[in-house]
Structure 1
Amino acid sequence: MIRDDAQPTRVEESMRRVDKQVLPESGSRSVFVTRTSNLYHTSDCPNLGGGDILEFGSSQEALESGGVPCKLCKP
């Protein structure tokens, strides 16, 4: 769990917060991660879950920031 007073990680610095209810349709280049995980997902992945969802501009950007691709949606 990430504390509010904690310094941002490399992954967090590369993300922007999004509302899950307005995620782009599948086919978008963006990938998404929750604050509690380093796994990144497509917008329609059932493993994405809820809570604080953050967006990367691409899979490559997420990977370079230390993210790990989801094995289910394979972003």
Structure 2
Amino acid sequence: MFGDGHPVVTFHQLRNWAECHHWEGFKVANFEKYDFSKDSCLYFSWGKQKASTLSLSYLVVIDMFNALNALSEDG
């Protein structure tokens, strides 16, 4: 475990996160509004919400710049 209470997740576990319910001893500390005390496996679905939103926003901005670049080349 790290100092923040979150466990070290191996690459194998990360690739097979859907099998989390079968892992022995997998516990995650609560974080802000997220309560993982009943189901630690929610860490993989709730925990990625912010990162997914940020990633999507970043991709939209890149796509907008690509569109503007394409318009400026045609003119």
TM-score, scaled relative to structure 2: 0.22
If each structure's strand is expressed as a fraction of its own residues, which one has the higher value? 1
Structure of higher CA gyration radius? 2
Q: TM-score, normalised by structure 1?
A: 0.22
Q: Which has the higher contact order (CA 8 A, sep 6+)?
A: 1
